[in-house]
Amino acid sequence: MSKQTLISHLRNIPDYPMEGVQFKDVTSWFMNTEDLKEIVDSLYEMYKDKGITKVCGVESRGFIIGAALAYRLGAGFILIRKPGKLPYEKVSLEYKKEYGFDRIEMHKDSITTDDTVLIHDDLLATGGTLLAACELVKTFKPKKVLVNCIIELTNFHAKEKFPQDCPVDSFIFRKNPVATSIWTSRVPLYT
């Protein structure tokens, strides 16, 4: 299956969650067996030789592919959640988003200094949540931290915000960006 075929299966929802947003609904991929297999298999090929011992999925769509990828890689799976959802002792980080502040949390025993960690989420736009996840994971002082998303909206230049020791890779990205704000973006994705 080509990336172009995968993109053609991506559901776009205009004006969600607010007017001007062209929401990329990756759940349309999750319910299609071939699409789901293509994404997980492709990400596995990208990371199979990186020594990944833990995959962290960012709430909530990052849980789906993140858990499947952890299974394929023979790695543990860690949840990065919004406040109040984890039952055990946790560490947290507050961060600024484009429309306010948010907080993410992990169990305090999630990662060791011997781990090589891959953080996964569905989409990289402005980078706030994934960058916060990277900073939170780095507080555990693992051997290495890698970041991955399925879709990257390149017009926001979010990769530039990440430290060099936290490389970011995307499976699908948007070339020739014209929008300057996620809230006004109405341009289709390209491979």
Question: Rounded to whole angstroms, how far apart are CA atoms 20 and 53?
Answer: 40
Does 61 qualify as catalytic in the annotation? yes
117 neighbors 100 (Cβ within 8 angstroms): no
The question of whether 72 is a catalytic residue gets the answer no
Out of 45, 94, 98, 186, which one is annotated catalytic? 98
Q: Enumerate the β-bridge partners of residue 105.
A: 81, 92
Per-residue DSSP letter, 10: P
Which amino acid is present at 68?
A: A
Q: In a 3-state reduction of DSSP, which class is residue 29?
A: helix
Q: Which of 38, 61, 105, 174 is catalytic?
A: 61
So which residues are the catalytic ones? Answer: 61, 98
